[in-house]
Structure 1
């Protein structure tokens, strides 16, 4: 019968194994008692200054320039191969074929196009070189409205159907909330019939009873301030994430930001607006399988309070198309709803917000 080794024999075996390991490590120039250290990577001769351009607070829909300096601290010239942003919101200086001499510098200009909805925005530019490791340059900013919403979204995840949001003017001036979620605002601790306008409110929201197919993408809060007539709050729900709008895979396009902020107009007067469509084909890594996705046929409002029609189209880069539309309001005040867009590859809807003056 085979017996297990005694404790003493086991200890001897372990000691012999460690001794053999130490001998091998010493032969390779590594300190005894631990594995050989990984070879340290040589630092890149290219230094990006600053690593991140922080634009601070930026206005919705604005274009904001930034500047980076690339320094070659090496002893030989280095050729730049590419500079590719991870976001279509970023425009950059052409760099292909540019050479940074030893000890020299190169100025990389970049601009960040801010979305029309509040929140943090960051983009990364990936830089590649001939004879040097890749590098990154980051540019970021905080898109801020004159009225801040806390939180800046409606959090309806994990079966939550009720909550509150606080709205506060940045300049401290009083304002009035006209509508919230398509209805009269449900104030907490404020009675508009008795209390004077304030600079800060807490408003309740509720999505109780909404079916998944009827869950809105956005919750709009309307105010009497012309510089901030509407605050769009993204609805976070299982039905508004990746499960929303599954037809996008068949028609090969989506609406940029999933929202159309149409601005302000007057009742009865055509008001020009734009809707940007982006090519969409993640399963094929963006490959264009059906060029007809750009061929716009119509745009119409599903809200009878405003008429919307397509008046033009133009290309917006290699994988975008801009639809030129006109909004004509039939009544005054806040108007929100859905736009139906049709191209040669299919139909889709997108929420919109439009304010019409009397």
Structure 2
């Protein structure tokens, strides 16, 4: 009986020991310690407005905007930095400015509209020493006298054709003279029988175009003097990161990827500018070749246009405006490419010009 009792106690003790957490065969890992969160300052800065809505704006136009930065806290706040997200936005220097409690600081900015239709949005990020960073925006809808809906050719996900509605802003009838280097293809309209309209549905078609030949733009031409061409951006995998593969080696890109010379007299030189921007994402924008902006030559790859390099002017530390002359040698719509050679390499930029008498 005593032996049984000792045996029972031994088994029970062994069982309890096995079931105890300290003796478990599975080692319990403590949850990893979390890194301490960065200190959060209560926001003592209010900016009005947060977004400036410009509404409809013209291509190539510049629009001012004003933001009021207000310190509603009890301590002075210093502006550590103010950084626009693109060169299309210029701002007044506010870095280092101190805003006293109850005081305000004005930030003036401007948005330079691109020469292609669509919504353009730019932002400015402001950092403060005693308050969280705040971003403000300027937004505008770049519209031509002839409005395109949508303002692009959406050829993503193996889509090869689609339609775009063109409508005159003033309701006046007009003619579409060319689309994608060919005669336009209409939906529900026969130009041989029907009178000109104020609105059309136009077909764009990229079927059979190989990736290496995919155009950045689908150009639609009209008979309106104030809107000879409507550039529709081609949205395709081949016009994104796969396009212009030499940009990294030469350290620059054309920001707008388009030069529109507008109406130009046949046989006469017409001056335009091309916006080039430094490009070096792998090194976070570091300038490894300062001579990237040294332009050697500019030429037209179209026999219908002569192009000549005139001069350059620096825009900040990582931009340059290249002034050239364009001389059309024919009447009517002309589209092609300009070849730009700098000390670091050669790149191409699409262009349009409408030769007039």
CA, structure 1 residues 82+42, in 2 after alignment: closer, same or farther (shift >3 Å)? closer
Match of 2:187 in 1: 188
* Secondary structure, counterpart of 1:341 in structure 2: strand
Deviations 1:43-73 (A, max 9, x none): 3010011111111111111111111111111
Match of 1:152 in 2: 151
* Secondary structure, counterpart of 2:121 in structure 1: strand
Match of 1:323 in 2: 322
Deviations 1:265-308 (A, max 9, x none): 11111111111111000111110001111111111111101111
- Distance in 1 separating the partners of 2:236 and 2:250: 24
- Distance in 2 separating the partners of 1:330 and 1:39: 64
Deviations 1:320-339 (A, max 9, x none): 11111111111100100111
User: Is the contact made by 2:40 and 2:132 (CA closer than 8 Å) also made in structure 1?
Assistant: no
Match of 2:63 in 1: 64
User: Is the contact made by 2:46 and 2:72 (CA closer than 8 Å) also made in structure 1?
Assistant: yes
Stretches of structure 1 lacking an aligned partner (at least 5 in a row): 1-37
Q: What are the residue-to-residue correspondences of 1:201-212 with 2, within 5 Å?
A: 201-212=200-211
Deviations 1:202-233 (A, max 9, x none): 11121122111111110000011111111000
Structure 1 residue 130 displacement after superposition: 2.1
What TM-score comes out, normalization by structure 2 length? 0.87
CA, structure 1 residues 60+105, in 2 after alignment: closer, same or farther (shift >3 Å)? same
Structure 1 residue 132 displacement after superposition: 2.0
- Distance in 1 separating the partners of 2:207 and 2:52: 43
- Distance in 1 separating the partners of 2:70 and 2:113: 28
User: Is the contact made by 1:48 and 1:136 (CA closer than 8 Å) also made in structure 2?
Assistant: no
Structure 1 residue 315 displacement after superposition: 1.2
Stretches of structure 2 lacking an aligned partner (at least 5 in a row): 1-36
Structure 1 residue 40 displacement after superposition: 11
Match of 1:141 in 2: 140
Match of 2:216 in 1: 217
Q: What are the residue-to-residue correspondences of 1:91-240 with 2, within 5 Å?
A: 91-240=90-239
Match of 1:357 in 2: 356
- Distance in 1 separating the partners of 2:338 and 2:274: 10
Deviations 1:6-64 (A, max 9, x none): xxxxxxxxxxxxxxxxxxxxxxxxxxxxxxxx999663010011111111111111111
Match of 1:22 in 2: none
Structure 1 residue 189 displacement after superposition: 1.2
User: Is the contact made by 2:78 and 2:129 (CA closer than 8 Å) also made in structure 1?
Assistant: yes
- Distance in 2 separating the partners of 1:322 and 1:41: 42
State yes or no: 1:52 paired with 2:51.
yes
**RMSD across aligned positions (CA):** 1.8
Give runs of ≥4 in structure 1 deviating > 4 Å.
38-42
CA, structure 1 residues 39+114, in 2 after alignment: closer, same or farther (shift >3 Å)? closer
* Secondary structure, counterpart of 2:67 in structure 1: strand
User: Is the contact made by 2:273 and 2:323 (CA closer than 8 Å) also made in structure 1?
Assistant: yes
What TM-score comes out, normalization by structure 1 length? 0.87
Equivalenced residue count is: 323
Structure 1 residue 309 displacement after superposition: 1.1
Deviations 1:162-203 (A, max 9, x none): 211111111111111111001111111111111111000011
**Higher alpha-carbon deviation: 186-195 or 277-286:** 186-195
User: Is the contact made by 1:91 and 1:110 (CA closer than 8 Å) also made in structure 2?
Assistant: yes
